[in-house]
Amino acid sequence: MVACMAVKIAVLKETRANEKRVAMVPAVADKLVKLGAEIHMQAGAGLAVKLADAAFKNVQFAADAVELVRDADVVVCVQPPDAAVVSAMRPGAILISFIYAHKEVELTKLLRDRRITTFAMELVPRITRAQAMDALSSQAALAGYYAALMGATHLARILPMMTTAVGSIRPARALVMGLGVAGLQALATARRLGAMTEGYDVRPETKEQAESLGAKFVDTGVDARGTGGYARELTQEEKDKIAGVVTKHIQQSDIIITTAAIPGRPSPKLISKAQVDGMKAGSVIIDLAAEGGGNCEYTQPGETIQVGQVTIVGPLNVPSMLGEHASELYAKNQFNLIELFLKEQQVKIDWSDEVIAKTALTHDGKIVNEAAAKAIEK
Ligand code: NAD
């Protein structure tokens, strides 16, 4: 009888600036070991979220990333790995990570040429069965929550109504623009903090979702539903129609949280310079779309700026600021994906599974995601 070698999973320490997350937490490592995997981690991989190596049982540690991945069957991380790591992986091994191929053209070509099977976390389809693997959603929910807290801490006033011996304080007004996963969480959090909340989106189905969270919906009469539950780009006529309605709401808000995105496009501009110039003194914009250039014309990604009496915050990698929970949710998302192909202590990929097929970026020497192949190879 031939002894079956355990599937070796290697967990990298993140190297990119301002990345605190780690792709493994002790509870997930335990579950993977039960599935028959052997976990090898880079020493200190969890330190940025206060997870010491000693917190991981049944895990072996190595200092060097290149040595760690050499004979790994599966490599997991949060941000795209360094080229040196990919070059050390064995052909046919699996990589699971966020990649964003359009921003990582050379790395994607290297993954293709090294014959790595890459599952890119941003490609997990937004279907009901894949919800437990959807890291875009888990991370966006945390970012939305944190945006409301950032807004609150940049204000020189409180959010709830308060009755005091010297009179009553009126509640703050919070407007959330873009009601996807992050936006709905921001609305819910601002409301829990005591603000009066309003929400706006170009997908009409978000009206009911906003109202179920106790918010008023700012109805612009524009329906810009695109494909797959996403929004499409607006025409100039639609933009003008929206501005006519939302300007008043922008200018009476204390906190504005913007989260609008259109897949594959730069962040749509929802707040013009002229609209900011008319905002209340002391108000704050938290632009969660800063990574894609920002929803406000003044936003400077990664900076907090003052425009007149308005503070505009353009935070980058907000999930990393909540590294402990972001890592926990991300590791669970990856576990649910790994469970699809880790069967009977072996890697068995079922390419007829929609989640597997759509999440794959490279396989067997090819870029198998159509959009990425088109952008990179044609
Ligand atoms: P996203 O990050 O792509 O965009 C955020 C929001 O911005 C969206 O609600 C979008 O409609 C809005 N937006 C775009 N342009 C705008 C504009 N000009 N003005 C105002 N708002 C604008 O969105 P997301 O959070 O990734 O969610 C996208 C969709 O996917 C939603 O329909 C969501 O319900 C759906 N979803 C489904 C699942 C699932 O079924 N498993 C999981 C997650 C998300």
Q: How many whole angstroms separate alpha carbon 172 and alpha carbon 149? A: 13
Q: Kindly report the backbone phi and psi dihedral angles of residue 45, in degrees, each rounded to the nearest multiple of 5, phi listed first.
A: -60, -30
Side-chain half-sphere CA neighbours of 352 within 13 A: 0
Q: How many whole angstroms separate alpha carbon 98 and alpha carbon 333? A: 12
Ligand 1 center from residue 261 Cα (angstroms): 7
CB of 261 within 6 A of ligand 1: the answer is: yes
CB of 217 within 6 A of ligand 1: the answer is: no
Tell me: the pLDDT tens digits for 251-264? Answer: 999 999 999 988 77
pLDDT for res 208: 98
Which residues form the catalytic set?
126, 131, 134, 137, 230
pLDDT for res 128: 96
Ligand 1 center from residue 56 Cα (angstroms): 36
Q: Has this prediction a pTM greater than 0.85?
A: yes
Closest ligand 1 atom to 205 CA: 32
Closest ligand 1 atom to 231 CA: 11
Of 333, 294, 292, whose CA–CA distance to 313 is shortest? 294
Closest ligand 1 atom to 203 CA: 11
Sites in the chain below the pLDDT cut of 50: 1-2
Nearest CA to ligand 1 atom 8: 180
pLDDT for res 2: 46
Side-chain half-sphere CA neighbours of 362 within 13 A: 31
Ligand 1 center from residue 292 Cα (angstroms): 15
Tell me: the pLDDT tens digits for 303-322? Answer: 999 999 999 999 999 999 99
Ligand 1 center from residue 318 Cα (angstroms): 17
Paired tokens of 79: 């941000």
